[in-house]
Amino acid sequence: MDINADFVTRSITLCLEHGATSRKSAMHTSVVGTSDGDLRVMVLREFDAGTHTLRFHTDARSPKVKSIEANPAMQILAYDPEAKIQIRMRGRGRVERDTPSADAAWDASTNFAKRCYLAESGPSSETAEPTSGLPQWVEGKNPDDAQVAAARQNFAIVLVTVTEFDWLYLANSGHRRAKVTIGDEGTPSVSWLVP
């Protein structure tokens, strides 16, 4: 396998685009870190290779929203054990609630996914017993458009513009690692690192 700068940038794009579109991809669920040191697994919804931007969905009431708004520094970790590729990313996040992008993401979601934002209390709220937080009437059900309409106020998207990718390929013959830095004009620059 000829590993060069073009191979690395193509690999990153293909892995993340596939991760965003295939539920079976290992990179569909990534570990996302915020500046407060908190980590969580989030579903990758979109990767825009032109702007190097990742899109995730979240409840606007979640603690991560406040953290991103206070300090937009973010880190993301994606790993595909079958492909033996790890991608670590650093970037700047922003939360959008009432924008055309947030509206489009909401409209493209299924009602079953939208129902998650019907939770009566925000994520991380303490409860007296184990619960999904959802109202009983919607537990395990696929609601209709009218039933999920109220959930829109709790829905937001997190957009992370990646400024640095750290790509690692694990191989018996010798691992390979590259750092891809995105310049001010959005142009990637590849440098090689010892794995």
pTM for the complete prediction? 0.94
* Stretch (H or E) spanning 147: helix 145-148
The residue range of the domain holding 22 is: 5-107+154-193
Q: How far is 16 from 26, CA to CA, in rounded Å?
A: 10
Q: Is 117 part of any domain?
A: no
Q: Is 185 part of any domain?
A: yes
Tens of pLDDT, residues 51-67: 999 999 999 999 999 99
Q: Is 171 part of any domain?
A: yes
For position 80, what pLDDT does the model report? 97
Q: Is 114 part of any domain?
A: no
Does residue 65 contact residue 84 with C-beta atoms inside 8 Å? no
Q: Is 137 part of any domain?
A: no
Tens of pLDDT, residues 141-162: 899 999 999 999 999 999 999 9
Say which CATH number the domain at 27 has.
Answer: 2.30.110.10
Q: How many domains is the chain partitioned into structurally?
A: 1
Q: Is 118 part of any domain?
A: no
Q: Is 12 part of any domain?
A: yes
| Nearest alpha-carbon partner for 18 in 75, 76, 78 | 78
Residue 140 has pLDDT above 70, yes or no: yes
Q: Is 113 part of any domain?
A: no
Q: Could you tell me the two tokens for 41?
A: 């697994």
Q: How large is the average pLDDT for residues 9-38?
A: 97
